[in-house]
Amino acid sequence: MSFYSLWGALEIGLIFGLVALGVLISFRILRFPDLTVDGSFPLGGATAATLISMGLDPFTSTLAAAVAGALAGMVTGWLNVKLKIMDLLASILMMIALYSINLRIMGRPNVPLISEPTVFTVLQPEGVSDYIMRPIILLVTVMAIKFALDWYFSTKAGLAMRATGSNSRMARAQGVATGGRVLAGMGISNALCALAGALFAQSQGGADISMGIGTIVIGLAAVIVGESIMPSRRMAVVTLAVIVGAVLYRYFITLALNADFIGLKAQDLNLVTAVLVTIALVIPLLKQRLRGKNGAR
Amino acid sequence: MLSAKNLHITFNAGTPIETRALRGLSLDIPTGQFVTVIGSNGAGKSTLLNAVSGDLPIDRGTISIDGQDVTPQPVWERAKRVARVFQDPMAGTCEDLTIEENMALAYSRGERRGLGRAINNAMRAEFRERLATLGLGLENRLADRIGLLSGGQRQAVSLLMAALKPSRILLLDEHTAALDPRTAQFVLDLTARIVKENQLTTMMVTHSMRQALDVGERTVMLHQGNVVLDVAGPQRQGLDVPDLLHMFEKVRGEALADDGLLLS
Distance CA B76, CA B137 (A): 31
Q: Mean pLDDT over all residues of chain B?
A: 89
What is the pLDDT, as a whole number, of residue B255?
Answer: 60
Element (H, E) at A243: helix A235-258
What dihedral angle (degrees, nearest 10) is formed by the CA atoms of A50, A55, A59, A62?
Answer: -10
Classified as helix, coil or strand, A265 is: coil
Q: How far is B27 from chain A, CA to nearest CA, in Å? A: 22
Question: Does ipTM exceed 0.95?
Answer: no
Report the chain B residue with the minimal C-alpha distance to residue A152. B115
Distance CA A28, CA A240 (A): 14
- Indicate if the pLDDT at residue B138 is higher than 50: yes
Find the distance separating the first CA and the last CA of chain B, reported in whole Å.
45
Closest CA to A61 of A105, A10, A12: A105
Q: How far is A255 from chain B, CA to nearest CA, in Å? A: 36
User: For residue range A32-43, what is the model confidence (pLDDT) as tens digits?
Assistant: 999 999 999 999
What is the pLDDT, as a whole number, of residue B264?
Answer: 39
CA B153 to mean position of chain CA atoms: 18
User: For residue range A59-80, what is the model confidence (pLDDT) as tens digits?
Assistant: 999 999 999 999 999 999 999 9
Q: Are A65 and A43 in contact (CB under 8 A)?
A: yes
Distance CA A200, CA B262 (A): 75
The β-bridge relationship of strands A110-112 and A206-208 is antiparallel
Flag the least confident range among A199-208, B22-31, B234-243: B234-243
Q: Which residues pair with B25 in a beta bridge?
A: B7
Interface test with B, best of A174, A182, A227 (most B CBs within 10 A): A174
Closest CA to A245 of A279, A276, A219, A216: A219
Residues 6+ apart with CB under 8 A from B159: B85, B175, B187, B190, B191, B194
- Indicate if the pLDDT at residue B239 is higher than 90: no
Report the chain A residue with the minimal C-alpha distance to residue B163. A174
Buried-exposed string A21-31: b where 16+ CB fall within 10 A, e elsewhere = bbbbbbbbbbe
Which amino acid does the sequence have at B14?
A: G
- Indicate if the pLDDT at residue B14 is higher than 60: yes
Residue A228: how many CB atoms within 10 A of its CB? 15
Contact A154 B110 (CB under 8 A): no
User: For residue range B194-226, what is the model confidence (pLDDT) as tens digits?
Assistant: 999 989 999 999 988 888 898 999 999 998 899
Helical pair B151-164 and B99-107, crossing angle rounded to 10 deg: 30
> Which chain B residues are closer than 8 Å to A177 by Cβ?
74, 76-77
Q: Which residues pair with A46 in a beta bridge?
A: none
Distance CA B134, CA B156 (A): 8
List, as ranges, residues 231-270 from A with C-beta within 8 Å of B: 233
Residue from the list A160, A167, A170 with its beta carbon closest to the beta carbon of B113:
A160
Interface test with B, best of A30, A151, A156 (most B CBs within 10 A): A156
Higher pLDDT, B141 or B235: B141
Q: How far is B75 from chain A, CA to nearest CA, in Å? A: 6
- Indicate if the pLDDT at residue B94 is higher than 90: yes
- Indicate if the pLDDT at residue B26 is higher than 60: yes
Residues 6+ apart with CB under 8 A from A246: A13, A14, A16, A17, A19, A20, A218, A219, A222, A225, A226
Q: How far is B58 from chain A, CA to nearest CA, in Å? A: 18
pLDDT mean by block of 10 residues, chain A; 297 residues:
83 97 97 97 98 97 98 98 97 97 96 94 87 94 98 96 96 95 98 98 95 92 89 92 95 81 78 81 79 57
Closest CA to A148 of A73, A227, A239: A239
Classified as helix, coil or strand, A1 is: coil
User: For residue range B40-76, what is the model confidence (pLDDT) as tens digits?
Assistant: 888 899 999 999 999 999 999 999 999 999 999 999 9
- Total beta-carbon pairs less than 8 A apart between chain A and chain B: 95
Residues 6+ apart with CB under 8 A from B59: B8, B9, B10, B13
What is the pLDDT, as a whole number, of residue A156?
Answer: 96
Classified as helix, coil or strand, B38 is: strand
Task: Name the percent of chain B lying above pLDDT 70.
Answer: 96
Residue from the list A156, A174, A175 with its beta carbon closest to the beta carbon of B114:
A156
> Which chain A residues are closer than 8 Å to B168 by Cβ?
none
Distance CA B150, CA B240 (A): 33
User: For residue range A189-228, what is the model confidence (pLDDT) as tens digits?
Assistant: 999 999 999 999 999 999 999 999 989 999 999 998 898 8
User: For residue range B171-186, what is the model confidence (pLDDT) as tens digits?
Assistant: 999 999 888 888 889 9
Element (H, E) at B7: strand B2-11
Distance CA B138, CA B131 (A): 6
Closest CA to A245 of A19, A1, A5: A19
Closest CA to A55 of A123, A117, A104: A117
Phi, psi of A66 (to 5 degrees): -65, -40
Q: What pTM does this model have?
A: 0.90
Angle at B22 between CA B19 and CA B28, to 5 degrees: 170
Interface test with A, best of B50, B82, B105 (most A CBs within 10 A): B105
Closest CA to A240 of A9, A33, A20, A88: A20
Residue from the list B93, B104, B119 with its beta carbon closest to the beta carbon of A170:
B93
